[in-house]
């Protein structure tokens, strides 16, 4: 394996090519188990990259086998693209019909690379389909955005990451196809998009004019990558400024292993697929700490991947971008890797690294449930948790991921009034350090809640829940959700409970004051409840049902007028 990072990107692409070749179907398409049809077709970009000899070892340069695969895949795309450039497929139960900007962009890059390499391919047919797709994007997506300066869902009718990728696809096609009208349609909007980056370094997926939506780490990385491409292609200062702002965000608001701070994200839950990404790592490479962050992201991505031959084609296409546009220079560890690191947003949310622990806090207002655009949007989650906990021995321990229409996932929840209304979404609050402890305080409709995190040692954390039940007459349930760990659950009183299809509710008395789960031990009061399973909302399936491996153990403690605080001790094996 190459020691310099840029070469490692390209080496990974070249290593994965046999995996692509063996997955090519008789009709020319590429098929990966469990992956919607559109995404594997991004393979045309990495295939073109290695055929053109862009990787340092050039092991596939001018390969007849690779060229045959490219020709067959290109023929499939020509046949599959409609006259408007649309691509139809099923995505986990969602029927999708429309121009796919990401696939069109990959095809455009492949055309550029292969033409430069002198490959004999039907470029006229490719250009026709790419041009039709770009004209549709301009007519149906970009034309209405001309002149706007704030890119929020109410104006764009989609997430900013989509808009960013419409822009890069259309602009790049204009350059590659020699169609200046495409560049002219995209470039002014792209400049405005870059200028609209939040001062904290992200683009809001669920935002408003007041910038109250907060970051969506997994998706803002796509927007960041797009602005990185615009800077690489144009060199314009407005894109450079956006990249510098995004670098500050992506090198600060991560856990030490470069996984996203899931607590701050109201769209994507924590999972291996969402935790580390190779999108836009090249855009981090303009400074030493950014290069360190890119190395950490890539290292974690590789660890989750396992076998490079199983890398998904779209990720490989991003590695091609990373190799092509990387800026060499000194590398220092990312801020998020350093003990004592603190990063706080303009909104009440942040990440704190103390004695190895990485602790996320958030008292951001849950605005999605109030906004008609997002209230019934299956991808827009409810901001309902106040903290998350990561430890170097285990990774994520207490999962701060949001859910939707599930009060049982909230840090605090009660029922109010004769209408039996759920009161579980924070209206705002504050985070900070108090006498060495990390504290988050939030206001709800009928009560106030606080969580105090007191580090006892590098292996022990005390979590204190407290409430002011000012207008809450029913119990206020405080709790947290454990990141998925393979069972069984081991009560401290002895015995074992499998984490399988059989649900259970065990109180602290029956547990003997707590339980073990893998390397984790939880101790709490006698009325603590260990509840299995919590089945979180799945945004990426049409029925929103989670996969079996996504089920989690929930810990809950009743508070209220009779008892206003409770303490839990979290311990990780030495």
Beta carbons of 497 and 488 less than 8 angstroms apart: yes
| Contacts of 120 by beta carbon, 8 Å cutoff, 6+ apart | none
Environment class of residue 98 by beta-carbon count within 10 Å: exposed (0-12), middle (13-18) or buried (19+)? middle
Residues in the chain, overall count = 574
Instruction: Give Cα 31 to chain centroid, integer Å.
Output: 24
pLDDT of residue 276: 81
Q: Distance of CA 206 to CAs 161, 209, 407, Å?
A: 11, 11, 20
Q: Report the alpha-carbon distance of residue 546 to residue 400 in Å, rounded.
A: 17
Q: Report the alpha-carbon distance of residue 184 to residue 32 in Å, rounded.
A: 37
Q: Residue 501 has which token pair?
A: 């299809």
Adjacent-strand bridge partners of 571: 460, 521
Q: What is the bridge-based pairing of β-strands 460-468 and 448-457?
A: antiparallel
Q: Report the alpha-carbon distance of residue 264 to residue 213 in Å, rounded.
A: 10
Q: Report the alpha-carbon distance of residue 517 to residue 491 in Å, rounded.
A: 9
Q: What is the topology classification, in CATH, of domain 5-336? A: Glycosyltransferase (1.50.10)
The vertex-536 CA angle with 531 and 542, nearest 5°, equals 150
Torsion of CA 568, 348, 395, 487, to 10 degrees: 50
Q: Residue 414 has which token pair?
A: 């009660």
Beta carbons of 110 and 122 less than 8 angstroms apart: no
Order of strands, edge to edge, in the sheet holding 448-457?
429-434, 437-443, 448-457, 460-468, 565-572, 520-523, 514-517, 490-491
Beta carbons of 253 and 379 less than 8 angstroms apart: no
| Contacts of 245 by beta carbon, 8 Å cutoff, 6+ apart | 197, 198, 199, 200, 201
Does domain 339-572 fall under CATH 2.70.98? My reply is yes
Placement of tokens 């190799």 in the chain: 323
Phi, psi (degrees; rounded to nearest 5) at 224: -60, -45
Beta carbons of 270 and 399 less than 8 angstroms apart: yes
Per-block mean pLDDT, blocks of 10 residues, the chain (574 long): 81 97 98 94 98 96 98 98 96 94 98 98 98 98 96 93 98 98 98 98 94 93 98 98 98 95 93 76 98 96 89 97 97 96 98 97 95 91 97 95 96 88 96 96 98 98 98 96 89 96 96 96 97 95 92 97 97 91
In terms of Cα–Cα distance, which of 227, 78, 244 is closest to 167? 227
- For residue 465, give the 3-state DSSP assignment: strand
In terms of Cα–Cα distance, which of 276, 339, 262 is closest to 304? 276
pLDDT of residue 2: 47
| Contacts of 468 by beta carbon, 8 Å cutoff, 6+ apart | 447, 448, 449, 564
Q: What is the bridge-based pairing of β-strands 476-481 and 412-416?
A: antiparallel
Q: Report the alpha-carbon distance of residue 401 to residue 388 in Å, rounded.
A: 8
User: Domain boundaries in the chain?
Assistant: 5-336, 339-572
Q: Residue 211 has which token pair?
A: 């910038």
Q: Distance of CA 340 to CAs 47, 169, 346, 352, Å?
A: 43, 41, 20, 7
Beta carbons of 319 and 42 less than 8 angstroms apart: no
Give the burial string for 526-545 (b: 16+ CB within 10 Å, else e): eebbbbbbbbbbbbbeeebe
Q: Report the alpha-carbon distance of residue 399 to residue 480 in Å, rounded.
A: 7
Q: Report the alpha-carbon distance of residue 456 to residue 570 in Å, rounded.
A: 10
Beta carbons of 440 and 478 less than 8 angstroms apart: no
The vertex-286 CA angle with 282 and 292, nearest 5°, equals 70
DSSP states of 80-121 as a string? HS-TTS-EEEEETTEEEEE--HHHHHHHHHHHHHHHHHT---
Query: What one-character DSSP code corresponds to residue 518?
Result: T
Q: Report the alpha-carbon distance of residue 201 to residue 217 in Å, rounded.
A: 10
Beta carbons of 227 and 243 less than 8 angstroms apart: yes
Biggest CA–CA distance in the chain, Å, is 79
> Helix 44-51 to helix 5-21 angle, to the nearest 10 degrees?
110
Beta carbons of 481 and 554 less than 8 angstroms apart: yes
pLDDT of residue 420: 78
Q: Residue 222 has which token pair?
A: 């796509």
């Amino acid at each position: 394996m190459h020691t310099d990072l840029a070469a490692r990107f390209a080496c990974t692409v070249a290593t994965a090519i046999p995996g692509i070749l063996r997955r090519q179907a008789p009709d020319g398409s590429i098929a990966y188990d469990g992956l919607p049809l559109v995404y594997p077709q991004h393979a045309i970009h990495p295939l073109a990259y290695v055929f053109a000899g862009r990787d340092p070892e050039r092991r596939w340069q001018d390969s007849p086998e690779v060229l045959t695969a490219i020709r067959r895949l290109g023929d499939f795309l020509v046949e599959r693209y409609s006259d408007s450039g649309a691509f139809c497929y099923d995505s986990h139960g969602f029927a999708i019909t429309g121009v796919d900007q990401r696939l069109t962009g990959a095809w455009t890059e492949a055309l550029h690379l292969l033409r430069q390499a002198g490959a004999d391919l039907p470029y006229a047919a490719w250009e026709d389909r790419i041009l039709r797709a770009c004209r549709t994007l301009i007519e149906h997506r970009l034309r209405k955005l001309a002149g706007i300066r704030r890119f929020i869902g109410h104006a764009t009718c989609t997430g900013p990451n989509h808009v960013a990728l419409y822009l890069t696809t259309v602009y790049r096609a204009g350059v590659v196809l020699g169609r200046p009208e495409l560049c002219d349609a995209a470039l002014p909007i792209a400049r405005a998009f870059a200028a609209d980056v939040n001062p904290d370094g992200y683009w809001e997926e669920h935002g408003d004019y007041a910038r109250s939506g907060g970051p969506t780490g997994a998706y803002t990385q796509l927007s960041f990558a797009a602005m990185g491409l615009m800077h690489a292609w144009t060199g314009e200062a407005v894109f450079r400024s956006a990249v510098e702002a995004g670098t500050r965000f992506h090198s600060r608001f991560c856990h030490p292993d470069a996984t996203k701070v899931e607590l701050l994200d109201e769209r994507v839950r924590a999972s291996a697929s969402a935790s580390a990404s190779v999108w836009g790592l090249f855009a981090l490479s303009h400074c030493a700490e950014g290069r360190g962050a890119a190395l950490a992201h890539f290292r974690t991505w590789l660890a989750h991947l396992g076998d490079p031959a199983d890398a998904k084609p779209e990720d490989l296409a991003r590695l091609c971008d990373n190799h092509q546009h990387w800026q060499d220079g000194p590398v220092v560890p990312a801020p998020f890797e350093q003990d004592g690191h603190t990063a706080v947003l303009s909104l009440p949310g942040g990440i704190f690294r103390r004695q190895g622990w990485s602790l996320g806090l958030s008292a951001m207002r849950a605005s999605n449930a109030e906004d008609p655009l997002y209230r019934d949007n299956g991808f827009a989650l409810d901001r309902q948790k106040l903290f998350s906990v990561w430890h170097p021995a285990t990774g994520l321990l207490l999962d701060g991921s949001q859910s939707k229409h599930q009060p049982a996932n909230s840090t605090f929840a009660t029922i109010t009034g004769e209408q039996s209304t759920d009161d579980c979404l924070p209206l705002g609050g504050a985070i900070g350090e108090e006498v060495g402890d990390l504290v988050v305080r939030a206001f709800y409709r009928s009560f106030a809640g606080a969580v105090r995190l007191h580090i006892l040692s590098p292996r022990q954390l005390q979590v204190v829940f407290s409430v002011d039940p000012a207008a809450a007459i029913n119990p206020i349930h405080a709790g947290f959700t454990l990141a998925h760990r393979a069972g069984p659950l081991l009560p401290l009183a002895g015995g074992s409970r499998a984490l399988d299809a059989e649900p259970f509710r065990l109180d602290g008395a029956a547990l003997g004051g707590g339980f073990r789960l893998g390397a984790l031990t939880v101790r709490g009061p006698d009325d603590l409840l260990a509840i299995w399973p919590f089945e979180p909302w799945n945004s990426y399936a049409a029925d929103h049902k989670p996969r079996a491996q996504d089920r989690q153990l929930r810990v809950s403690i009743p508070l209220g007028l009779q008892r206003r605080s409770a303490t839990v001790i979290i311990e990780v094996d030495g």
